[in-house]
Amino acid sequence: IVLDNINVNFKQKGRSMQAVKSASLTVEKGEIFGIVGPSGAGKSTLVRVINLLQPPASGRVLINGEDITAFKGAALRRVRLKMGMIFQHFNLISGATVFQNIAFALKANNCPENQIAGRVKQLLEQVNLSDKANVYPANLSGGQKQRVAIARALANDPEILLCDEATSALDLENTEEIIRILRRINREKHITVVFITHEMDVARKLFDRIAVMAEGEIVEIGDTYRIFTEP
Ligand code: ADP
Ligand code: ADP
């Protein structure tokens, strides 16, 4: 993933503000890359530029060497299939069971009907939730909901997983379980992970490298060890 000189502007109360200012970074294939910084720093906005949920005002987005910045329609859908996303508040469909939540993602990508049940079963095994297929989200803990969201995000075998404050609504025990699952997925499936957080403990435990953002700018990028040890 290459973000090259990205700028994003928003209108707030009739005035323009720069949410992301000249941000550049490269995430290598197979990395667990973190973006940290205080609330309002522009982390969410920058990550949403990667899958063009937030088109930049200027700058380029490259995925596997391909400039996708101007992609629309079918071309954009094709690159978005390479990327799964999970959120702080899980964003599950409350009126659908765990099975149905994951099946919807498979159907949206034209998975053959006769393969759906087997594929859902496989995905639930990956997140240690095989016994919850017929449960509704309201009857799951926060950690279990996030594991369903991870299974759904993995439904179409993405190369990249984008995680926006994915552990921020969870207690320590569930946070550690999500960290273990993401590490395992990264290791076994070679999925590149980009993870935003304001939780420094998560950053220290999970990330290979870190970008630090403040007021829309990337102020530092480096190995996790260096970011945490150098003044
Ligand atoms: P972070 O993820 O670091 O908390 P965000 O990327 O969510 O930061 O927000 C960065 C800035 O951009 C904030 O000032 C926020 O209010 C503003 N912002 C984000 N999204 C929008 C939007 N859709 N419209 C207007 N302002 C926005
Ligand atoms: P985060 O937890 O990442 O800081 P926010 O709560 O700031 O997220 O933003 C949640 C959603 O609201 C995002 O889709 C963001 O783009 C949008 N948003 C944030 N700030 C504003 C704003 N000032 N005006 C309009 N939309 C906003």
Given this model, what pLDDT does residue 110 score?
Answer: 87
At 190, list the tokens. Answer: 């070679």
Mean pLDDT, all residues of the chain: 96
Confidence of residue 230 (pLDDT cuts 50, 70, 90): confident
Query: Which numbered ligand comes closest to the C-alpha of 53?
Result: 2
**Closest ligand 1 atom, residue 46 Cα:** 6
pLDDT(11) > 80:
yes
What's the predicted TM-score (pTM) here? Answer: 0.91
Query: Which numbered ligand comes closest to the C-alpha of 42?
Result: 1
In this structure, the residue with its CA closest to atom 8 of ligand 2 is 44
The pLDDT of 219-231, averaged and rounded, is: 92
86: alpha, beta or left? (left if phi > 0; alpha if psi -120 to 50): beta
C-alpha to C-alpha distance for 50 and 3, rounded to whole angstroms: 8
Given this model, what pLDDT does residue 231 score?
Answer: 72
